[in-house]
Structure 1
């Protein structure tokens, strides 16, 4: 009840049009070189952080929020997800993340190899799944296409989107190509992971030549763009496969991001040398396949000690559980990852990995995507008291809170199911 009252009061105090505010007396976790700043103020003007320091003066017309020492962080990353392109995972008509146009054998013009497939255009900013995760401090996610039977292990493209309800949510410069590799994808490559590399090399050759049978004309043009320094997310777990990814990316001028990386710690030196970011599932404590025999709860800590940039992304039902990202980070802390590195893995590391230089930290000049917490944000018994996008207070309600309020309210003349508010 205290949480509900506080959220309502704060939402009332900040009109939707407000972009100028001063958050006083916060424990500011900057996720940057400044580290944690206790008893500091953060001034936001025109949606951007303008000043950070103790006892800042409040300009005229600026809304003042007293944080009372509570933690303030950048908005959190929801991982690689289908937020906005997947409503109910069990209902195919509401899932727009994958493309399956038929088998790829024999390959032909218009085959299932369609790297030009881009999930951004299917994004629905009013998906109920977004609200449920936004009120838990998730402010941005990377839309991740899925490799489906009848499709290709080159799953398509997706961008980072902001979860503030806007239609034009994709952030410029963040678009990435997604490729699934390893045993789970071998059914899409003739039953062998060796076939994946054969087909990838053929696709690259076609993109460079401008002709061929595996890709469409649009597919060749799309892939060609990623051969000139483009970002490619490789879903891969086995250490041997990760080494192949790094060699392939270097050979063809790609910037690799490793997703999954269950055995990434085994090739940490190579990952550091390649300056590759690894997005790990820190709850993957047991092998789920022969590709992840060396998985463990210490993966994030091991990678960090080796100098590898570590972020977080869940496997499985990542869309509806994006709010559990901070649980992943907290679990990594419990197994050796420094707290500041865990917060960075939820904020600045994924932001920079996907080309976002203006968010992911609390620093002067950064976009004011902020979250005020009831306590340590990496603890499961704390909650987000208020979320801001560019200094604008987010509506701290979701489908879940609305259902809660409906069925906890005193019964009136009609059954609760008929309540309209």
Structure 2
């Protein structure tokens, strides 16, 4: 153990002194959790170049001219993918001018697109990255239900890279977001029945509009309740080309969501699903993945009376693909790995917990062909850890996004260093 600590210290010093260049890199003597066909490799290597993984596994030799990093037995995993965040879209929740992930009123609903308001210089992005998070799904949100919180849909989600690049490597139109349950009912007039009737009417309108777009353009179609922008945004959802993220907690609401998906051929992803374990087999049979926080175990609302610490384990046992979320969508995104550790303590197998941070969300959002595992051809998003990634005391020793090493710093750390007592004494007058 002492030898491993010394090796990690030396590795950290080397990495800190090395510029973050997109050059060929070989990470050797590593314990790999590839999350791919190679599985866990006790002593392997990863070779990356041009932003991609060239090779990963046992018996992989560094190519000539590559920068070689000796991991000294440290764990290397794919970069973590945060499944539901507001990173880049929210800075301070209570300062409205820094909140760009929600709109009020009824004029824009499904067409609202978070990508246009993203801020690559958000101070929250480096904080999440220090938790090993390399990609994140940014979700739109509603305003408060009692403050004209918007229409039926929250809007469209986007996938971003946490590399601070000006464009954040945004993948737009990833999914449509819809909230059911108590909050959704409040927006629809106060009852769940009203919301489901409105949803079905909206989907019927979208189908009508898609069939008779030319008539709509000529003004020969009856007046529709949704604006044209929302109708256009919902066509890919009805055609199964865009996922529908459905926030639902109560067992009865989840059943209604599954039925809605069957009736309209929707590709849904459940979010929350605190009572999902009660119908885990039905969710699995429907092929509906789940985004969840496994620490939700208290009946904070009437719709979560059956919340359980074992929700994640029971859903995964039934064959449901899950993604484990952080403790909130902004400042505590990095805690997703802590939450995965809690799920392991409540019965979720370790490999499934790590999958729920990497390959699971990649599969759920349709990007597993390029993210989520250490496999040749995939983006070189990976993390070298000081210890078990599910242990809070462990930290990233190095983080690579698309083959580029990222700085292990953040505004909170810089402020700590600047204003700590020792730093104050060292500053010149």
TM-score normalised according to structure 1 size: 0.91
Distance in 1 (CA, whole Å) between partners of 2:90 and 2:172 is 23
Which residue of the partner structure matches residue 118 of structure 1? 113
Structure 1 contact 77–141 (Cα < 8 Å) conserved: yes
Contact 2:113 2:173 in 1 (8 A): no
Aligned to 2:274: 262
1:239 equivalent to 2:251? Answer yes
Aligned residue number for residue 136 of structure 1: 131
Query: C-alpha separation between the residues in 1 aligned to 2:426 and 2:391?
Result: 38
| 1:311 Cα deviation after fit | 1.1
Q: Deviations over 1:201-244 (max 9, x none)?
A: 11112212226442111111111121111201001111111111
Name the Cα RMSD after superposition. 2.0
Shift of 1:9: 3.2
Please give the residue correspondences for 1:249-398 in structure 2 after superposition, counting only pairs within 5 Å.
Answer: 249-314=261-326, 317-356=328-367, 357-398=369-410
Is 1:127 the counterpart of 2:122? The answer is yes
Deviation at 1:400, TM superposition (A): 1.4
Structure 2 equivalent of residue 178 of structure 1: 177
Q: 1:225 to 1:174 in 2, by over 3 A?
A: closer
Q: TM-score by structure 2 length?
A: 0.90
Paired residue secondary structure (1:411): helix
Q: CA deviation at 1:301?
A: 0.4
Structure 1: gaps of 5 or more residues: 102-110, 416-421
CA deviations over 1:257-314 (Å, ceiling 9, x no partner): 1110100111111111111111111111111111111111100001111111111124
Q: CA deviation at 1:174?
A: 5.9
Distance in 1, matches of 2:223 and 2:112, equals 18
Q: Does 1:77 align with 2:81?
A: yes
The equivalent of 1:418 in structure 2 is: none
C-alpha change, 1:29 and 1:67, in structure 2 (3 Å) is same
Which secondary structure state, in structure 1, belongs to the residue aligned with residue 201 of structure 2? helix
State whether residues 11 and 70 of structure 2, in contact with CA within 8 Å, keep that contact through their aligned partners in structure 1. Answer: no
Aligned equivalents of 1:374, 1:413: Cα separation in 2: 31
1:97 & 1:9 partners in 2: Cα distance?
Answer: 39
Q: Distance in 2 between matches of 1:79 and 1:384?
A: 20
Distance across 1 between alignment mates of 2:363 and 2:190: 35
Alignment size in residue pairs:
404
- Mean Cα deviation higher: 147-156 or 115-124: 147-156
Partners of 1:65 and 1:133 in 2: how far apart? 24
Off by >6 Å, runs of 4+ in structure 1: 1-5
Q: C-alpha separation between the residues in 1 aligned to 2:335 and 2:197?
A: 37
Report the Cα distance in structure 1 between the residues aligned to 2:170 and 2:122, rounded to whole angstroms: 18
1:6-21 aligned within 5 A: 7=12, 9-13=14-18, 15-21=19-25
- Summarize the alignment of residues 39-54 of structure 1 with structure 2, pairs less than 5 Å apart: 39-54=43-58
Residue 394 of structure 1 and its aligned partner are, at CA, apart by 0.4
Distance 1:29 1:212 in 2: 55
Change (3 A) 1:344 1:18: same
Q: Does the residue aligned with 2:89 lie in a helix, a strand or coil?
A: coil
Per-residue CA deviations over 1:27-77 (Å, capped at 9, x if unaligned) read: 100122332111101111212111123343322221100001110000012
- Report the counterpart of residue 419 of structure 1 in structure 2: none
* Residue number in structure 1 paired with 2:226: 215
Gaps of 5+ in 2: 210-221
Equivalent residue number for residue 238 of structure 2: 227
The answer for the alignment partner of 2:155 in structure 1 is 156
Q: Distance in 2 between matches of 1:224 and 1:413?
A: 60
Alpha-carbon distance in structure 2 between the residues aligned to 1:91 and 1:298: 36
Residue-by-residue CA offset, 1:2-37 (whole Å, 9 max, x unaligned): 989864531322x33223100001110012233211
